[in-house]
Every structure is written in structure tokens, then in C-alpha cells.
Amino acid sequence: MKIAMMALLFVASGASAHVAALGEFQTKPILADLKDLRALNIPVMAKDEGVEVGYAVVTPLMLQRIQERAHTVGKCGGFEDLSGDVMLQSHGFDHMLTELAKIKEQNDLYERAPFKALALEKNAGIVAALSEVSENNLRSYVQWLSSFPNRNNKDPQPNRHVTEMKMRLEAMLGNATIPYEISEITHSSTKQNTLKVRLPGSARPNEIIVLGGHLDSINQSWGGTKAAPGADDNASGSANLIEALRILMEKPQPQRSIEFFWYAGEESGLLGSAEIAKQYKAENKDVVAVLQLDMTLLPGSGELVVGSMTDFTSSWMRDYLKALNETYLNAKIVDDKCGYGCSDHASWNRQGYPALMPFEATFKASNKNIHTANDVITPESNFKHSAVFTKIAVVLGMDLANSSARQPY
Ligand code: BES
Ligand code: ZN
């Protein structure tokens, strides 16, 4: 079926010389920036002009061209691998697009809403909790995580750091004053596990606030050492979450449940988060908000300047971020875009859950050393800047998790 489709596409795109070899190609379905697909003359099988994404089935060569182009325009991979996507296999591209358009419509509805009643009431307990955020702790967590040779999901020992982190979190949680559950989640798309800590809610435990980031790392450079320290991408976001947990576990039990995730296999196509978000949707779980922390260490647009990604996120959550910033942080929030599903928030957004992705800078000004052996702590690493992201998580954990606010549509 796929091959037949490809043969058709190849004839249509005039690359008939390759048709003979089609059977040998390992094609894969992907989601990519519509502009990139068009610029590269890659046949788009379905598209949504509104969200500017297109679906294509590509050969390794096409994939390489997308990656090369992505690099020249400052993106990383520039595409999302949809192989193994159950919804795609069972319902096809058009259905996926309809779903995507529905989610966008939901967001647009909110944007057209006549008023936004988002102002946070300043709470002394939250102010005190924010002062507990320790830059030294963040530094030592990032130092520790980036000292593994890599945290890649394809490493022969893909769970070394996961096992060690679980032990460390268990030790830390020994001081918790509220109930918690810690678990490792196994996946079918990767041998790497996701680490989860759940703080069950006291009043409305079925309402869930997800605080997550990917724990894995990757080295995509040619030659040289294959080390993947991933200090910024994403020991930093992972560290922010550890620090937020350390603070929240000694606060009064939240009314809603808070679930921390350190995802597996993000760098290989959002693998861990995609499985989890799909399962949550299948079980009809009520995820009220999803925070994604991925790269928080390099203040490329200036100290305390935070990029807020507007694609694959919820405009309600973005307004919430601006409101919490006014009340508690006094950082500068700048709207920007990845242009593709660049991190695990896209997995949740794809299932219709409201997501937020505050980022270290604007996309263009982000760290150029990611996915290389040079993604280490440097003199430019800024833990005061990074601390802002722990604070965002703490406010979600103390304000949103104790309120009944939710996305209005
Ligand atoms: N942290 C990056 C995403 C990122 C990079 C956001 C630069 C903003 C600026 C993430 O870990 C990543 O590398 N994502 C992949 C996509 C994924 C679907 C494989 C990418 O960007 O190529
Ligand atoms: Zn990455």
C-alpha cells in the first residue's frame, strides 16, 4: 500500500529514475513544516494551512534534505516521525488533519473570546516557595545529568541514568510531607523508560497538571566524539523539574494531582510522551494543563527573557503564563514559534490537551551547541535565568493545582 502510494508520488514528482529502487526504500510518514516540504518539492499528502504543517511519506534521502534545510534555517531535525503512530495507521492522514484543525479551532475560539479573566491573586505562600528555588541545586543537577556519556534511547544501556535518577528522587522524596507515587513507565516504541512522580490531589485527584521535560539526549554531529552531555537539551529542564518537586513535596497537598514526567526518547521523535499522551486520551483522563520544559539554560535573548512557543500550545495557557509572570516573576515573555512539533508538548497537544512551552530564548537565539558533545555547562550557562522555569512549574503546582480554572473551551 505504502509502496504503491510512493510509486504514484514519484511518477507525479518526475523522479522516475528512482522508481526501480522503490522496494528497497524504507519510507516513513512524517509531519513537517509546510514551507520546508514545498521548498524541497516533497509531495505533500495532506496539509493544514492554518497550522502550517504537512504530512508526507518520505525516503531517507528526502529526510536528509529536510534535515539539511532545517539546519540552514536554524532548526534541528525539522520533522516529526510518525512511524508507529496508531491513529495514523488506523485512520489515515485526513483524520489526523481534521483532529489537528479541531484543536486549532479550540484555541482560536479562545483567542476570539470577549474577555480574558486571567489575573492571579498574589499568594504569600507561593512567594515564599519561589524564594526557595536554588540556583546551586540546579547547577548540581545539570552537572550530574550531563556527566553521563549520553542519555540516548538507542544506547546499549538506555536506562542507566533513569535508574540512577529514580534512586536519587526516592532518596529526596524521603523528606516529602505529602503522599507521592514514583514509577518507571516502559514503552513499546523504545527500550528507554519514562520516569514519573505523581502527587495525588486531595480534593480533585482526577484533574491532572502535567509538569514534564525529556531526560534523554542525542549527538547528531558527524565524526568527533559521540558524547551527548545534553546540558541545555535537556538536563536543564529536567533539573528545573527536580527542583520544583523538591519544593512542592514539602508544601500542603495540592487539590488537583500533579504529575511529573521525565520522558524517554524525545530526541528520536517524541516517543515516550506520544505513548503516554495517547494512553491518557484513550483512558479519558482529565489533563487540565501540560507544562513542557525543554532547554532553559542559555539566555540567548537576554537574561530573564523567555520565549513562549505559540505552535502546538494553548492560548489559554500562554495567557496564564503572562498572568503568572506579572504577579510573580517579572521576566519578559516573548511569543515565538518552533515551526514544527519540536518537543513533547506537541504529543499532548495532538491529543487535545492544553500545553505550554516556555523556552530559554526566541527560537533563533537558542543554543547552537545542542545535539553535539559541546552541549555542556559553559560560562554562558545562566542558572538565574534557568531558575525562572522552575518558578513557572512551582506556580502551576501551587496556584493552578489549587484552583478550578481550566481552558474555557
Ligand atoms: N530541545 C529540542 C527542540 C528545540 C531545539 C526547540 C531548538 C527550540 C530550539 C528537542 O529536544 C529536539 O531536538 N527536538 C527535535 C524534534 C523531535 C520531534 C525529534 C528537533 O528539533 O529536531
Ligand atoms: Zn534536542
Per-residue pLDDT of the chain (409 residues; tens, 9 = 90+): 333 333 333 333 333 333 334 444 578 888 888 888 999 989 888 887 777 788 888 888 888 888 888 777 656 667 777 877 777 778 887 787 787 788 777 777 777 765 565 788 999 999 999 999 999 999 999 999 999 999 999 999 999 999 999 999 999 999 999 999 999 999 999 999 999 999 999 999 999 999 999 999 999 988 777 999 999 999 999 999 999 999 999 999 999 999 999 999 999 999 999 999 999 999 999 999 999 999 999 999 999 999 999 999 999 999 999 999 999 999 999 999 998 899 999 999 999 999 999 999 999 999 999 999 999 999 999 999 999 999 999 999 999 999 999 998 6
88 and 130 together in one domain = no
55 and 184 together in one domain = no
Ligand 1: atom nearest CA of 371 is 13
The pLDDT, as a whole number, for residue 6 is: 36
Domain membership flag for residue 345 = yes
> Crossing angle, helix 237-248 and helix 160-173, to 10 degrees?
20
Ligand 1: atom nearest CA of 77 is 22
86 and 218 together in one domain = no
The pLDDT, as a whole number, for residue 11 is: 32
Domain membership flag for residue 407 = no
83 and 135 together in one domain = no
Identify which of 301, 343, 364 to mutate to test ligand 1's pocket (most ligand atoms within 8 A of the CB). 343
Domain membership flag for residue 408 = no
Domain membership flag for residue 116 = no
26 and 165 together in one domain = no
Domain membership flag for residue 409 = no
CB 182 within 8 A of CB 230: no
165 and 87 together in one domain = no
Nearest ligand, measured from the Cα of 361: 1
Residue at 196: amino acid letter: K
- Supply the residues annotated as catalytic: 214, 233, 266-267, 294, 371
* Distance (Å) from CA 234 to ligand 1 centroid: 10
Q: Which domain holds residue 55?
A: 2-110
Q: Model's pTM, two decimal places?
A: 0.83
DSSP symbols for 327-388: III--EEEEE--SS--STHHHHHHTT--EE-EESS-STTS-TTTTSTT-S--TT--HHHHHH
CB 335 within 8 A of CB 308: yes
Domain membership flag for residue 119 = no
Give phi and psi for 29, each to the nearest 5.
-80, 135
Domain membership flag for residue 172 = yes
The pLDDT, as a whole number, for residue 28 is: 84
The pLDDT, as a whole number, for residue 74 is: 59
Residue nearest to atom 16 of ligand 1 (CA): 342
Domain membership flag for residue 115 = no
Pairing of strands 256-263, 204-214: parallel
> Crossing angle, helix 383-398 and helix 315-324, to 10 degrees?
110
The pLDDT, as a whole number, for residue 401 is: 98
DSSP symbols for 253-310: PPSEEEEEEEES-GGGTSHHHHHHHHHHHHTT-EEEEEEE----S--TT-TTEEEEE-
61 and 161 together in one domain = no
The pLDDT, as a whole number, for residue 33 is: 86
Ligand 1: atom nearest CA of 70 is 22
CATH number at residue 290: 3.40.630.10
* Distance (Å) from CA 370 to ligand 2 centroid: 7
Which residue among 88, 110, 132 closes a domain? 110
54 and 182 together in one domain = no
294 and 166 together in one domain = yes
* Distance (Å) from CA 361 to ligand 2 centroid: 15
Nearest ligand, measured from the Cα of 371: 2
Which residue among 86, 110, 134 closes a domain? 110
* Distance (Å) from CA 236 to ligand 2 centroid: 12
CB 33 within 8 A of CB 78: yes
Give phi and psi for 391, each to the nearest 5.
-65, -40
* Distance (Å) from CA 80 to ligand 1 centroid: 10
173 and 200 together in one domain = yes
The pLDDT, as a whole number, for residue 30 is: 86
Q: Is the CB of 77 under 6 A from ligand 1?
A: yes
CB 223 within 8 A of CB 372: no
Cα–Cα distance for residue pair 274/87, rounded to 1 Å: 11
Q: Structural domain tally of the chain? A: 2
287 and 368 together in one domain = yes
Cα–Cα distance for residue pair 57/380, rounded to 1 Å: 40
Paired residues of 80 in beta bridges: 31
The pLDDT, as a whole number, for residue 136 is: 98
Which residue among 87, 110, 133 closes a domain? 110
Residue nearest to atom 22 of ligand 1 (CA): 77
Residue nearest to atom 4 of ligand 1 (CA): 342
Nearest ligand, measured from the Cα of 32: 1
Residue nearest to atom 17 of ligand 1 (CA): 269
40 and 63 together in one domain = yes
